[in-house]
A = this chain, B = another copy of it.
């Protein structure tokens, strides 16, 4: 998954990567929440969402790997926020893609 065969542009590959990060309801929910309020703790999410905390942790890791969120350690908790730089990039890419 990452055609550098010139047919699919790097912009399209990046858009697809972001879309993939958004393609699971749990992850979309987390992003949606972080876009509304500034930050949240992993524990807050764990209480609300009907999944094991190990599963949640994996989803958060994927969002981090996609560059859409970042976690700040506040022992013993972890505070998650959007990675604003990449969130703005995602806004730009989807705006272009969807012709908004």
Contact = CB atoms under 8 A, between A and B. Distances in A.
Number of this chain's copies in the assembly equals 2
A63 interface: no
A13 interface: yes
Interface residues of A, number: 34
A66 to B, nearest CB: 11
A50 B99 CA distance: 26
Contact of A20 (B8, B23, B94): B23
A73 interface: no
A22 B28 contact: no
A29 B50 contact: no
Contacts of A27: 16
B25 A13 contact: yes
